[in-house]
Amino acid sequence: MIVYIAGPMRGHDFHNFPAFHDTADSLAMLGHFPFDPAQRDLDEGFDPAHTIEEQSFDLAAALRCDLAFIVTVADGVVVLDGWKTSRGASLEVEVARACGKPIFTLTGDNLIPINLGEW
C-alpha cells in the first residue's frame, strides 16, 4: 500500500523528522511504500536544526506537494502521535477523508485503521 505519513513538525525537536523517518522505515519493512514528507523537505534543502523562518523554505509549495500526493497517489494516510494538534497534519487527514482514503496508526507491526467518526 502507498501511504502518506502525517504528523506534527513545528514545535518539536528537529521538526519531528526522526519520528517520520522511523515510521517510514517501519512501513517499508512491512512491505508498504511510504511517502515521508520530512525526507522530501530534506531533499529540498530544509535544515531541521533551524526554524522555517530562518530558511528560505517554501511551506506553501511543500503543502501543495503533500496534498497532491494524498489526492492522487496515496492509498491511505498513517498518522503520528500528536497529529490532531497539528494544523498541517489535520488538513492532510481531512483531505484524505474527503477522498475516501483510510487513516491508520502504526502500532508495532500493524497498521490499525482509525475511525474518526465526526472528528
Backbone angles phi, psi at 32, to 5 degrees: -90, 170
pTM for the whole structure: 0.94
Residue 52's pLDDT is 87
DSSP per-residue string spanning 2-60: EEEEE---TTSGGGGHHHHHHHHHHHHHTT-EEE-HHHHHHHTT--TTS-GGGTT--HH
What confidence tier does 53 reach under pLDDT thresholds 50, 70, 90? confident
What confidence tier does 56 reach under pLDDT thresholds 50, 70, 90? confident
Whole-angstrom distance, CA of residue 101 vs CA of residue 92: 11
